């Protein structure tokens, strides 16, 4: 469903180590209403999943996805890039039909 590049995996593991001592901790990947184009992505480190979450193991990282978000995340690749313009997580979504200029929101 969701893939995470090696570079992004390393960053997520660093964040989990920094922010949680819980062995159940993982990365929440969410799609939220909002942004210029209608939907935006959300990433959080959380100690435990919610009861209705889908829990994936992606390169050794627990990924928590709620039912609403799951329908928009099929085939998404999460990467971490660093350039002169800044650094951060990026999303490649084959299902997105458009996006905004800043790259933080999308339409389906």
Range of the domain at 53: 2-97
Inside any domain, residue 108 = no
Q: What would the pLDDT profile of 76-101 be if each residue is shown by its tens digit?
A: 999 999 888 788 898 888 877 665 55
Confidence label for 103 from pLDDT (cuts 50, 70 and 90) = low
Tell me, what DSSP letter sits at residue 29? E
Domain count for the chain, please give it.
1
Asked whether residue 105 is assigned to any structural domain, the reply reads no
| 106 occurs within a structural domain | no
The domain that contains 74 carries what CATH number?
Answer: 2.60.300.12
pLDDT in tens, 19-60: 877 888 999 999 988 766 678 889 999 999 999 999 999 999
46 within a domain of the structure (yes/no): yes
Residue 87 CB coordination number (10 Å): 11
Confidence of residue 70 (pLDDT cuts 50, 70, 90): very high
On whether residue 104 sits in a domain, the answer given is no
Q: Does residue 42 form part of some domain?
A: yes
pTM listed for this prediction:
0.85
Task: Name the H helices within the chain.
Answer: 6-19, 67-70
Contact 31, 68 (CB under 8 A): yes
Please determine, for residue 104, whether its predicted confidence score (pLDDT) is greater than 80: no
Residue 81 domain flag: yes
């Amino acid at each position: 469903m969701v893939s995470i590049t090696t570079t992004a995996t390393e960053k997520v593991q660093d964040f989990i180590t920094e922010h949680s001592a819980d062995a159940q901790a993982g990365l929440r990947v969410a799609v939220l209403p909002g942004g210029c184009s209608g939907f935006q992505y959300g990433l959080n480190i959380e100690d435990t999943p919610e009861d209705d979450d889908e829990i994936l193991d992606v390169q050794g990282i627990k990924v928590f996805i709620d039912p609403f978000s799951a329908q928009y995340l099929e085939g998404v690749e999460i990467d971490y890039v660093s350039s002169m313009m800044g650094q951060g997580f990026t999303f490649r979504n084959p299902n997105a039909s458009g996006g905004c200029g800043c790259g933080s929101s999308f339409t389906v």
